[in-house]
Homo-oligomer: A and B are copies of this chain.
Amino acid sequence: MAKYSVLYNKIQKDIEDGRLKPGEQLPSEKELMDEYDLSRDTVRKSLSLLVTNNYIRKIKGKGSFVLEMNKFDFPVAGLISFKEMAAKTGMTSYSTEVIRLQIQKSATFPTKALDAQEIHSIWEVIRVRTINGRRVILDKDYFYQDVVPELTEEISSNSIYEYLEQNLGLKIGFAQKEIVMEKATAEDRLLLDLYDYDMVAVVNTLVYLVNGKLFQFTQSRHCPDKFKFIDVARRNTP
């Protein structure tokens, strides 16, 4: 592990575990250099990462301070899986039911997500997420089979991402999300407990590997009253 990663992880953990409290001042760059026996640039690299990930902010002439970002309910910063979210927010009761798991010939895979007109074999996974006894999320995932050769019901009902990262060694790079509202379909009404709602919140996601290759499209359809998306935006990062 790189030296700057070690320091980054140390401070990140200190913040998440509450050893460093919101508003608290971090040691100065000089002090961190001495304490961890690092050059200033390496210390600065760690701190820069903490800044871009919204853990701290730096003020010229004053120091580095832990951000106070606990005004919202849960800390979803972008890309996170259902299972990770469940763990972070401490959901007591949740489960996943696999509705369909099959291979397709790019039929229903959204055309705009395809790089070209090539024919691909594609895994289609349809799952329903239940939280506290209510079916609230309908997930439709599509993976290229040349990237994800095998997929079982057991993997799907656990965490696909965990499998992809730990077993297949795939490295997720980034994702584009699009959030829209749509009229509920007959399928939505069948698979979700929508009560009297006639709309759903739809999150379309394209997931890319670190090498830039697109490998997954996901459509996540949520009960409107149980949907919440959190985002932290930084204006003009430079």
A residues touching B (Cβ–Cβ < 8 Å)?
5, 8, 41, 49, 52-54, 57, 59, 65, 67-69, 71-72, 77-79, 112-113, 172-181, 197-199, 201, 206, 210-212, 224-225, 227-235, 237-238
A235 CA / B170 CA spacing, docked (Å): 12
Quote the shortest CB–CB distance from A214 to chain B (angstroms): 9
Extra contacts, 17 of them, besides A71-B112, A176-B231, A181-B224 (Cβ < 8 A), are: A54-B174, A57-B210, A59-B211, A65-B212, A68-B212, A71-B176, A78-B231, A78-B233, A79-B233, A174-B232, A174-B235, A176-B232, A178-B228, A181-B181, A181-B201, A199-B199, A229-B229
- The 14 sampled A-B contact pairs (Cβ below 8 Å) are A41-B41, A52-B52, A53-B237, A69-B176, A71-B112, A71-B176, A72-B176, A174-B233, A177-B230, A178-B229, A178-B230, A179-B228, A180-B229, A199-B224
Residue on B with the closest CB to A73?
A: B178
Partner pick for A72 among B178, B197, B210, CB 8 A cutoff: B178
Inter-subunit contact A49/B178 (CB<8 Å): no
Decide: A230 near B5, CB < 8 A? Known: A57-B212, A67-B212, A181-B201: no
